[in-house]
Structure 1
Amino acid sequence: MMNNNNILQFPTAAQSSRDGRLLIPARFTEARLAARLTQTELASRIGVSRQAVSSYEMGSKQPAPEVLLQISEELRQPLNFFTKPETETFGRQTANFFRKKGADTKRRDQACEVYSKWFARTVYAFDHIANFPKVDLPSFEPAHTQAEGYSDEEIEHYAEETRQHFGLGLGPISNVIRLLETKGVSICRFEMPAENVEAFSYWVGERPFIFLASDKRSAVRRRFDVAHELAHLCLHRWVGEEELDDPQRLKRIEAEADHFAGAFLLPRKSFPNEVYSTRVESFVDLKARWKVAIQAMVYRCKDLGIFDERQIVNMYKQISYKKWRTVEPLDSGVTAIGFEDPILLKRVAELVFKSGRYPVDELKADLALSGSTLEQLLGLDEGSLTRRTDVRWEPTLK
């Protein structure tokens, strides 16, 4: 049965056909990949053959009006998404830095590729109105050949240089996400249920992006994820897709990013001075101060040679005995360290909508994305863009 709400919100498929607005194959594929559905799975849901879905994506056949409406409802995007050409963006997009690639992550990676494009286009839609911070990230390359990667000393040095570039001292960083937003990095948090994606980063033209895709229960692990992606933006901009497809090369790149994140969050010139015991309980206060996981601090102690191998092994045994492998002190409850969330784009959107300089309906028409998708990309409260729009827009207050 047809959904009356959809008929009220969007023109019918028959109207689209009469107006000459036909399904654009690439847009159809985008929506299907974002929904993480195969052609066979989607075909089953909309009541056509897999061959029919394939022909829609190839552009050799147009779906019947009623099928186009079903496609819109099943993929949860408005009809004009499928009939409107792609909007502009900042330029060419680099490869996304996923921590694992392969046959078992293909569906996830394809969805993330689509979301990353949508996020860049959403930021670009506000670029002519908002005065976003100027991009201010340092860029590094290995001293020797790129194939050899970075030495440990190079990574330590470049992490220190990055802190100096940002005007940071040697103490803890109060809010990593807020810091990077002031340096021109666009960041969003987009939940992907049932998918194991911590975060990934990429460049579009001269604009850097970080996409947080996991619902981690630990604020400090999210901070480490962001520092890890900063490493990719500063160290690995020159890395190509073919290198990321090489498991051994990807493993090294990820290890370099982890090392950089540890060095950036826990500087070698200050952090060791505060480590005084191999008892893991002594790291709880350090975690509260530095906002870094106890296990990450122990690993940093190993990197810096603060403790020998036997002591490090003993510390990990303590962590296992206390059942801190997945949930550490200060991860939950009233004493939990608070999460850091992106705020810049949300504030821009709220100010722009409230001023009337860029009405919600105009944004939806420009990007042709569903209100719920835009809410996540902009960091807005659920329902902000999906309730009635015939009244003045006001932010949803919690």
Structure 2
Amino acid sequence: MRSGIKGFQSLRLKQLRSNASMTQAELADLVQCAKGNISKWEQGKSSPEANSFQRICDAFNVPGSWLMEEPIASPETQPSFFRTNTSTTATARALANIRLDWAEEIAYKLQESLEFPSINLPEYTGDFKDLADYEIEDLATECRQRWNIGQAPIGNLLNLMESNGVVATRGKLGFTKMDGVSRWSQVDDYPYVFLCMDKANGFRTRFDAAHELGHIILHKAVSQAGYKKHYKLLETQAHRFASALLLPASAFVRDIHYPTMETFLALKPKWKTSVAAMIRRCQDLEVISEQTALRLWKARSARGWTTREPLDDTLEPEEPKLLQRSIKMLVENNILDKNTLRQVLGLPIQYAEELCNLPQGYFDLDDSSKVVELKLRAEAKQRMKPQQQKGNGKVISLHRS
């Protein structure tokens, strides 16, 4: 009886198929095998033979070594916080989780040779169910103080997050109702954020980033069970944090002399937040009455701004730079060449480029230099604790900008 490829990682195949939105039957046709084989391979009950294995590699443009390498990702017991529309499908959530898993793996491998910025974030350690609004406001203020930005409008929020220890990435999923997802990694103890770019609205994605930062700061200790049970409360708290961070109370209120639609629209370029976010912030701070708020919401709806507001096209979505800069530093400093790096990253190259915010075809560009090959830590396969993984093989420091 043939045993198939030894060491084949079933989760890798499931990730690839789910990421491609393929059914098991569709993958079976592609690989030229029975549908039942795909099911057995994904469950780890058997492994593909050499011919089928190579067809999988060719179909998804991945090296065989990656299919035999144990995935590096946080366990499923670690909750991922989704900023989504309530009608978002489980498929969209699963796809976003896969992209976040891959980003986590990319970053972990890059840290074999690079030192990422240290984490500089406040942390709430109490019971989230007891978290008061004023405490959320205080944590947002503390975050601004740590980052030395005072009460001024934030320029590039995403790059500021990266400079203070958040690993951020983005990509398109094909689901416009998915906004973002975040989690604390149990692999390297860094916070990770994935932003969905299907809407490509710079104002919206800034708020999404701030919302995910809220989860990172407020909800590190939340369990998977707690997340499922108290989802609405956690979302409300993250929303309040995002508002407080982007629109600091004292400075923002000084700008609201007359709370009209024209006032909010005029302030939109300054604070880089939507009219809706500013109305909501005024409600949170109780600078307008409920009657005035209702009038403003009705006016916004009457003008057709519920799905898209004026000036939405004037702000380009912020681009993450940390992973992109890491890749380029390794290549430009002759730590490894593009071909070696492509083999080490392993995952489908178009997604490696997207998650690292690299131009399409970056890894296909000619690179004839021969440099030291990057080696994976033995600890990666053993899933050792984050504190046991730090400090090995660091050669380049990514200083804050």
Q: Name the counterpart of 2:48.
A: 63
TM-score (norm 1): 0.84
Counterpart residue type for residue 37 of structure 1:
M
Stretch deviating more after TM superposition (17-26 or 157-166):
17-26
Report the RMSD for the aligned CA atoms in angstroms: 2.8
Q: How does 1:210-225 map to 2 (within 5 A)?
A: 210-225=193-208
Find out whether 1:354 has 2:332 as its counterpart: yes
Cα distance in 1 for partners of 2:24, 2:4 equals 27
Q: State the match for 1:80 in structure 2.
A: 65
Structure 2: which 5+ runs fail to align?
A: 372-401
- The CA deviation string for residues 62-121 of structure 1, in whole angstroms up to 9 with x for no partner, is 33433333333444434333233335x799983210135999632222222222221112
Task: Name the SS of the counterpart of 1:98 in structure 2.
Answer: strand
Aligned residue pair count: 368
Tell whether the 8 Å contact from 1:90 to 1:207 is kept in structure 2 after alignment.
Answer: no
* Shift in alpha-carbon separation, 1:165–1:75, aligned structure 2, 3 A: same
Partner of 2:140: 159
Match for residue 115 of structure 1? 99
Letter in 1 for 2:246: L
2:228 is the counterpart of 1:245 = yes
How far is 1:200 from its partner?
Answer: 1.1
SS in 2 for 1:174: coil
What are the Cα deviations for residues 315-357 of structure 1, in whole angstroms up to 9, with x where unaligned?
112212222222212212xxx1232111122122123212321
What amino acid maps onto 1:243 in structure 2? Answer: G
Identity of aligned pairs, percent? 28
- 1:77–1:370 CA contact under 8 A, matched in 2: yes
What is the CA deviation profile of residues 205-226 of structure 1, one whole-angstrom value per residue up to 9, with x for unaligned ones? Answer: 4211111123223211111111
Distance 1:338 1:33, change over 3 A: closer
Q: Taking structure 1 as reference, are residues 389 and 20 closer, same or farther at Cα in structure 2, changes over 3 Å only? A: farther
Q: Which residue of 2 aligns with 1:183?
A: 164
Structure 2 counterpart of 1:396: none
- TM, length-normalised to structure 2: 0.83
- Corresponding position: 1:339 with 2:320: no
Q: Structure 1 unaligned runs (5+)?
A: 1-16, 394-398
Q: 1:261 to 1:379 in 2, by over 3 A?
A: same
Aligned partners of 2:74 and 2:101 also within 8 Å: no
Q: Cα–Cα, structure 1 residues 51 and 102, in superposed 2: closer, same or farther, change >3 Å?
A: farther
Displacement of 1:177: 0.7
**Deviation of 1:374 (Å):** 1.3
Structure 1 runs of 4+ aligned residues shifted over 4 Å read 17-22, 89-93, 100-104, 387-393
CA deviation vs aligned residue, 1:357-381 (integer Å, no higher than 9, x gap): 1212222222322221211121100
My pick for the range that moved more, 254-263 or 348-357, is 348-357
Q: Does the 8 Å contact 1:177/1:342 carry over to 2? A: yes
1:341 and 1:191 map into 2 onto residues whose CA distance is 13
Q: For 1:84 and 1:61, locate their aligned partners in 2 and report how far apart those are by CA, in whole Å.
A: 16
Deviations 1:186-232 (A, max 9, x none): 11112112363211111114211111123223211111111101111
Change beyond 3 A, Cα 1:116–1:49: same
* Counterpart for residue 17 of structure 2: 32
C-alpha spacing 1:107/1:40, structure 2 compared with 1 (3 Å): farther
